[in-house]
Structure 1
């Protein structure tokens, strides 16, 4: 009798756990006093990968609308210096080619400042805690040098762009090599420069927050060619639906209508078509190695870790207005995961981009 009672209790616990696992995360923030954070996720094309460079002024209408939203925190799809430093300590997990693609090498900044990445990160944090309302040019040059040593080049550029042209020179930790790097970065054509850094400087922000993460999708694949072929085959089955989307994107780019482009790629229906044609198709892959499922699992792990970093960027700032700039296919995951956070409202990007700037 006692034995069966124990079995019955165990079964009840299993059933209870199964039911509890399906209970959605409760909204604990209803009728809670205080300010709420607002997060706007802007899906972007990777501008630096376009066949022809984008003119900075073509993005001004987009920046006008983003500036009207008035973000005080901006996150970007880049890997932080801390994460890159960690990955360098695990060469068997993260190969040098991948690191070279995703991570900048702060060797010149280490020589110029005498700081390694951990020391530079600590100095950045301390400097920002005591940052004056009206910093002198020398202070901006010094903070730019610290950001370079910390492996955060885009934030260094935010400081550089807020300097008057006559003050954009070596000094306070910036040597000629770092000045050359900053000038080259300012001429870059990717969205982290053309949108994030320019907008942050325009709004008087001191930095941006890199939130990308490739520690979860760097899994070993037994046959890289077979893996690529399986995914290409899966994606080929959806080109009938995704082809017109890509053609319309190209037409908007060719016409120089970049605000129209961003309105289009952030539409709910467009995003649904694109992710169904990418990840939905991958999940239907029939390879015995389950390559498509591996691909989607890595993608979702990456998004989970990226969203955690977005949340961390304003963990000490209740009521923050956050702009997260990320490749458009990340947006549905970002919106869904951020929408589960307490005291956080996910903003409608179509409304922000669709109305006139104020």
Structure 2
């Protein structure tokens, strides 16, 4: 009896081992979207341009210093341009749910009320009217059509696209009319002069290339009330007191000091988009935050917010790219986002991430 039992147990163990071995061998590899690159037609190309926020540049900055950068971007011929700005519809959502999101609309959203009053349209009405106008857009639009579209973009909370239309008008047609009253002309003229990469790079480039708009793709729906906690601000301030931050600040100071020199701004953009910068940026900020040791885990909450924001921004960019598969898309975003954008966009099946250094040579 015991011999029979031992024999049966041994057989069972042997069979179990074989099954376990076969199961292990049959276990599929973890799904990785990057392995599946088969699709019809050419790949969509995305160039992520990391940028400093031009509003914070020193007084020696002049928009004309961007000419060498603009020349190289224009030579790449993007067909779609996205910017780090909130869309009008998201701004409307954030205003409605300000208590849930620490009211980012007050910091990041333009006031479209003057344009909405002038046109008699609310946010949804203006946004839908602009989209309908673009769907029926003629090959050679009149000056009146451009003024009307600019007014709709203002009412829909997209002043950068309004600037694109304004720049595409002949100088003698940049005047009131077709929905643009004198107050709105003042708004779009002021927007055109802003020291802001959305205008001085994206809008200027879009107009130069004959594009009709840019696409706001920022997202602040992950913002929440944690930032109002005094302990949160103190903890993140301590996170930023590290050698990598000091290294970045010293490098930025040297780059800023040279922007007035020939090619100074182009050198700055080459440095900001150098792949070697990604590690320093991470260690100085989100990598340091992940190791912040407060019981509230403020640092991990901060890093979680950052990853969520980047994922939602990239999702918005992906949605724009899906409108025109195979197109070249330029996305202009604060330099700290660049490595996340490159990594997340590289996971898309039919998207090729373009080396910024090659374009900026």
TM-score by length of 1: 0.89
Q: How many residues align?
A: 337
Aligned residue in 1 for 2:185: 179
Pair 1:66 & 2:88 matched:
no
Residue 23 (structure 1) shift:
3.4
Q: Which consecutive segments of 4 or more residues in structure 1 shift more than 4 A? A: 19-22
For residues 56-106 of structure 1, the C-alpha deviation after alignment (integer angstroms, 9 at most, x for no partner) is: 11000000000000001000000000111111221321345x312111111
Alignment of 1:5-16 (within 5 A): none
Aligned residue in 2 for 1:27: 35
For residues 103-151 of structure 1, the C-alpha deviation after alignment (integer angstroms, 9 at most, x for no partner) is: 1111101111111110111111110011111111111000000101111
The partner residue of 1:220 within 218, 225, 237 is 225
The partner residue of 1:229 within 204, 226, 234 is 234
How many Å separate the matches in 1 of 2:135 and 2:194?
30
How many Å separate the matches in 2 of 1:289 and 1:342?
38
For residues 224-252 of structure 1, the C-alpha deviation after alignment (integer angstroms, 9 at most, x for no partner) is: 33212211211212335434333333333
Aligned residue in 1 for 2:327: 320
Aligned residue in 2 for 1:251: 257
Q: Structure 1 residues 21 and 277 mapped into 2: Cα distance closer, same or farther (>3 Å)?
A: farther
How many Å separate the matches in 2 of 1:222 and 1:204?
41
The partner residue of 2:248 within 239, 242, 250 is 242
List gaps (5 residues or longer) in structure 2.
1-15
Residue 193 (structure 1) shift:
0.8
How many Å separate the matches in 1 of 2:283 and 2:226?
24
Q: Secondary structure at the match of 1:345?
A: strand
Pair 1:151 & 2:157 matched:
yes
Residue 222 (structure 1) shift:
7.7
Residue 284 (structure 1) shift:
1.6
How many Å separate the matches in 2 of 1:103 and 1:178?
17
TM-score by length of 2: 0.88
For residues 25-50 of structure 1, the C-alpha deviation after alignment (integer angstroms, 9 at most, x for no partner) is: 353333x3312110000000000122
Pair 1:290 & 2:297 matched:
yes
How many Å separate the matches in 1 of 2:254 and 2:120?
50
Alignment of 1:20-99 (within 5 A): 22-25=30-33, 27-30=35-38, 32-52=39-59, 54-96=61-103, 98-99=104-105
How many Å separate the matches in 1 of 2:301 and 2:54?
28
Pair 1:116 & 2:152 matched:
no
Residue 274 (structure 1) shift:
1.7
- Provide the alpha-carbon RMSD of the alignment: 2.0
**Is 2:33–2:348's contact at 8 Å kept on the other side of the alignment?**
no
